[in-house]
Each structure stands twice: as C-alpha cells, then as structure tokens.
Amino acid sequence: TTLTNLRAEHIMTIISHLEAIGCKIKIDNQTVRIQSDKSLRSLSAIRTLPYPGFPTDAQPQMMALTTMCEGTSVFAENIFDGRFRHVGGLIRMGADIRVEGSIALVNGVKKVNFGVFKRIAIAWVSSPTIAGVLTYLVALATKSYFGA
C-alpha cells in the first residue's frame, strides 16, 4: 500500500522500527510504500523519546503490531506515565503482554482478534500522518495474518 502527501523525514524513527520487524519500505518524494510478508520479527527495544525519537503517541499501535511478531518485543515508555492503559484491551484480544513499571514485554502470538482495535486505533494518536501509517500497518498485518 502507498501513503502519499507526507514528509517521511518526520517519521523516520517509526520507519526504521518497521524495517527492523521486516517491513519493506520505499520512500520517493512525498510517497511511502509499505509491504510486509507474513514473517515479522520482534523488536529488541522501543524507547519513547521526544522528537526526533520514537513518539509516545505511536507506541500503542506499534505494540499492537508486535503482538503478531515472532519473539519478544520490549517497550520502554519514557514520556507518558499512563501510556500502557491500552494493554488490558490487547490482552483481552489474545495478546501476551506483561507490564512492569515503565517496561512492557510483548510475546508474539499466533492469533489476535483486532476487530475492535482497528476501529479505535486512530483515536490513540495525535498526528494524522502517524495515525495513517500505523492504522494501515495494523490493517496490513491483520490481512496478512488472518486473511481479513
């Protein structure tokens, strides 16, 4: 899928994490093309930081995506104390997540029911660009993994 009319340099931290899990990304002018096969890898560490670091507003969506990655992903929330409030919902959908203070460990699972998550994902971010990229990725992963 292709995202247009965005400045990729503003979301390079997100793009680098997506590449690390196995997404293929092509950037051309104001266009970003994102592709993924069915074998996504976990992330050793995602640390939220002020811009240009990984945005705290994108952490819930990236965490949702990593629930379908092989292995364990580690999230360190350094900006917003209440950011892990979404974890309970992901667990109810079948995710395997353990939170200890400002650290969350996400173990990839074979099946997650993202039906509810896809409808509310955009409410969890403040930037329309980040919302578009991450909502698309959740939809892409859902389609790739579950044929939705």
Mean pLDDT over the full length of the chain: 79
User: Tell me: the pLDDT tens digits for 51-106?
Assistant: 889 988 889 889 988 988 899 999 999 998 888 988 988 888 889 999 999 999 99
Q: Which amino acid is at 105?
A: L
Asked whether the whole model's pTM tops 0.85, one would answer no
Q: Which amino acid is at 58?
A: A
User: Tell me: the pLDDT tens digits for 106-124?
Assistant: 999 887 776 655 544 444 4
Q: Which amino acid is at 107?
A: N
pLDDT at 135: 58
User: Strand 46-47 and strand 72-76: pairing?
Assistant: parallel
Reported as half-sphere exposure (CB side, CA atoms, 13 A), residue 4 has a value of 0
Opening angle at CA 80, ends 15 and 137, nearest 5: 30
**Which residues, in sequence order, are CB contacts of 121 under 8 Å at separation 6+?**
60, 61, 64, 131, 134, 135, 138
